[in-house]
Amino acid sequence: MPNFAANLTLLFTELPFLERFEAAAKADFTAVEFLFPYAFAVEDIKRELDTHGLKLVLHNLPPGDWDAGERGIACLPDRVQEFRAGVATAIRYAQGLGVGQLHCLAGKAPAGVAGDVLRQTFVSNLRYAAAELGAAGLRLLIEPINTYDIPGYYLNRTQQALDILDEVGADNAFVQYDIYHAQRMEGELGTTIKNNLQRIGHIQLADNPGRNEPGTGEINYAWLFKHLDAIGYTGWIGCEYKPATTTLAGLGWREQLTA
């Protein structure tokens, strides 16, 4: 059976953030992930993880001004120093919280900047981040995100991510494969995961359309979970979906689709 981690950015959102850890543990999750820890003290988050026996499997590098619509700054040539400062902050949190991998949001491609400049900036920033994370014993992840949910996002497809990682050339850099985003952009989920299993460091899920629980849309999750077991995926799967009603009301999919 797959190892599921509750994404506390989207699940249990009826509760204040620091109360979601207890709710996740009571719902039989043994691990959690979330977008960003930076609004809270390391000590406060660590206390919740330890109190409720939870493992943190993922959080993101700082994204720029999220509330203003920014979705990462790694491809932005005028924000390199800010990006590097964010890497240092993320490592400090990661070491305090015991998480072993961090996701780097690529960002939206700004108008008027040549494609080769964006790629050079992204690759250079990833090399820097991979080196800094590697020195701290951490893995770096990059995730293709669909352009319907985030128009203009720089990184959209699995092969694009693999090509960029080839150019980065870091042995601690991997793909974060989000099933929902991949379904919207390219399909071929089972084959793509199998063919690139050794380069996928983390998997996330939601169904399509709607980005709701598995079993609410077109993706055959019962088959896909068996497939992940069969090909030997042993990592965590982050539940990064929007509950159709409430988190607890929708959790029946775990038993229904993994039997």
143 tagged catalytic = yes
CB burial of residue 157 (10 Å; 0-12, 13-18, 19+): middle
Q: Are 180 and 241 in contact (CB under 8 A)?
A: yes
Q: Whole-angstrom Cα distance, residue 78 to residue 64?
A: 12
In the set 33, 48, 213, 240, the catalytic residue is 240
240 tagged catalytic = yes
Q: Whole-angstrom Cα distance, residue 233 to residue 156?
A: 23
Q: Are 144 and 182 in contact (CB under 8 A)?
A: yes
In the set 33, 48, 143, 213, the catalytic residue is 143
Beta pairing partners, 177:
203
Name 121's Cβ contacts closer than 8 Å, sequence gap at least 6.
Answer: 74, 75, 76, 77, 80
Q: Are 93 and 38 in contact (CB under 8 A)?
A: yes
Q: Which residues are catalytic?
A: 143, 240
